[in-house]
Structure 1
Amino acid sequence: MADTEHRQPPPAPEIASPEEDPNATIQCSSPPCFMHELDPSWLGFMPWLEVRAWRKAQRARLIADRLAPPREARAVRDAAITPRIRAALPPMAGVVVGFYWPMRGEYDPRPLARALHAEGVQLALPVVVAKAAPMVFRPWFPGARLVPGIWDIPVPAEGEPVAPDLLLVPLVGFDAGRYRLGYGGGYYDRTLAAMPKRPTTIGIGFEQGSLATIHPQPHDIPMDVIVTEGRTVSAGQ
């Protein structure tokens, strides 16, 4: 298994997304509105160019903070998250769970994925098949053949795409509205917006990633639940 923790994502211009490329397109989670015609200072909103720059700076800061603790401390942090994820899971009969291969100090869901597989749960990993396109999910199981994908993150080498009923989604940062700050590629937002049936989403991050707001934009899709080592945030909380 490849160790992707310290691999650096490619420069943002190579990732076509509204996060780093103002000319990129993405399917929005709701129809366009005319809020751009209102005075952002009156609304208390930051102009998009400022939001983009702010997110980039926050992303760099939060990733550095996430990697700062020693491995032992990060393992303790992960161990506190796992039972919270378990508690947030719905009944697992017949459920396909999409998870992710960790990088750069993210919570490592692989032990949980192996445990779920032993319990008979079908699992899948995301695969980027094209830039600025929704991801697909291919089946994963212990021993499945993996090949390097985008950013050298391992992905299943074969298998027909499956439709997850539940997604475990990594967070760089998050806010009380359950909006997610990711890596700026827009892949999860684009994928969720394109799915005919929206899966349940559990965003997984750390308390150090908590922000007052990520300044959500029309393409941002909130998570159903966010889990950290210290709490579980769901709708109405």
Structure 2
Amino acid sequence: MTVRDIPGTVASSTQMKLLSHCSTGYPRTATEVEWWRKTERRRLIDARLALPADTRLRVARRVTEQLDGLLASFPDAVLALYWPFRGEIDLRDWMTGLPKRGVRIALPVVVGPGEPLVFREWGLATPMVRGPWNIPVPAEDRPLVPEIVVAPLIGVDRRGYRLGYGRGHYDRTLGALPHRALSIGIGHPVAEIPTVFPQSHERPLDWVILGKSSWERPRECDPAGYGLS
């Protein structure tokens, strides 16, 4: 069985060319793909945790500058952000300035395994409690539906497919929202890899920002457009 035959795997022609060379070490079976993603996830997390503090800060500043440029086109959109975990890009300093600009912010909350995320409104005075994995979440259940979702990533390829923690929360969330949200993945430059071997349920991001580089997924892949006015 090759990757093309694995149920739930989306393999591009470029990926298949890579797979044709045994010396590349790319996985060929479903078991190998699962193992590869787990190993790559661990490698990429270790790589970003090893970055010096000043490098992380510099990348975060570049990312927020690019986010400001993108968000300028949607000044009234509800924005979903996140609380950083295990070396993710730390947006908190930037985030605290957004309410002063009139931006409404939603933070994700995990409600259960295999379930889409829910979002609660966050502000400067919002009390926080510890959620799953000890990540702070808003204590008050004030639901807010985002129109733009900024998602942290561990790895990403040029087609916009994201390698996360393997729980599928963001993929399910983007599919469950009542409207088509603009999705933006952010990470460190070390996150870019040739492919993540995406599964059929995984959704490519609309934009990717990695500090030094950023790219947009071709719009012809999404004729429906965003649910933004």
Q: Write the distance in 2 (CA, Å) between the matches of 1:141 and 1:219.
A: 33
Given that 1:134 and 1:190 are in contact with CA atoms closer than 8 Å, whether structure 2 keeps it comes out as yes
CA offset digits 1:82-126 (Å, max 9, x no partner): 111111225344311000000111111112222221100100100
Q: Write the distance in 2 (CA, Å) between the matches of 1:54 and 1:35.
A: 14
Q: Relative to structure 1, is the Cα distance of residues 47 and 89 closer, same or farther in structure 2, using a 3 angstrom cutoff?
A: farther
Partner of 1:16: none
Partner of 2:78: 96
**In structure 1, what residue type is equivalent to 2:167?**
G
Deviation, 1:180, is 0.3
Partner of 2:138: 156
Gaps of 5+ in 2: 20-27, 220-229
CA offset digits 1:11-33 (Å, max 9, x no partner): xxxxxxxxxxxxxxxxxxxxxxx
1:223 and 2:219 are equivalent in the alignment? no
Mapping for residues 129-168 of structure 1, pairs under 5 Å: 129-168=111-150
Given that 2:78 and 2:104 are in contact with CA atoms closer than 8 Å, whether structure 1 keeps it comes out as yes
CA offset digits 1:191-214 (Å, max 9, x no partner): 111122121011001111111010
Structure 2 SS opposite 1:125:
strand
Partner of 1:6: none
Mapping for residues 103-114 of structure 1, pairs under 5 Å: 103-114=85-96
CA offset digits 1:105-153 (Å, max 9, x no partner): 1111112222221100100100011221111000001121010111000
Given that 2:6 and 2:29 are in contact with CA atoms closer than 8 Å, whether structure 1 keeps it comes out as no
Partner of 1:78: 60
Q: Write the distance in 2 (CA, Å) between the matches of 1:235 and 1:186.
A: 20
**Please, what is the CA RMSD of the aligned residues?**
2.3
- Percent identical pairs in the alignment equals 39
Deviation, 1:70, is 1.9
When structure 1 is superposed on structure 2, of 80-89 and 131-140 the one drifting more is 80-89
Q: Write the distance in 2 (CA, Å) between the matches of 1:168 and 1:176.
A: 17
Deviation, 1:77, is 1.8
Q: Write the distance in 1 (CA, Å) between the matches of 2:137 and 2:157.
A: 29
Structure 2 SS opposite 1:137:
strand
Gaps of 5+ in 1: 1-33
Partner of 1:56: 38
Structure 1 SS opposite 2:58:
helix
Q: Write the distance in 2 (CA, Å) between the matches of 1:90 and 1:53.
A: 41
Given that 2:117 and 2:173 are in contact with CA atoms closer than 8 Å, whether structure 1 keeps it comes out as yes
**Structure with a larger share of its residues in helix:** 2
**In structure 2, what residue type is equivalent to 1:124?**
A
The total of aligned residue pairs comes to: 202
Which one of 117, 121, 143 corresponds to residue 99 of structure 2? 117
Q: TM-score scaled by structure 2?
A: 0.82
Partner of 1:211: 193
Given that 1:92 and 1:121 are in contact with CA atoms closer than 8 Å, whether structure 2 keeps it comes out as no
Q: Relative to structure 1, is the Cα distance of residues 195 and 117 closer, same or farther in structure 2, using a 3 angstrom cutoff?
A: same
- Quick one: higher RCO (CA 8 Å, sep 6+), 1 or 2? 1
Q: TM-score scaled by structure 1?
A: 0.79
Deviation, 1:176, is 0.5
Deviation, 1:227, is 0.3
**In structure 2, what residue type is equivalent to 1:60?**
R
Q: Write the distance in 2 (CA, Å) between the matches of 1:159 and 1:174.
A: 32
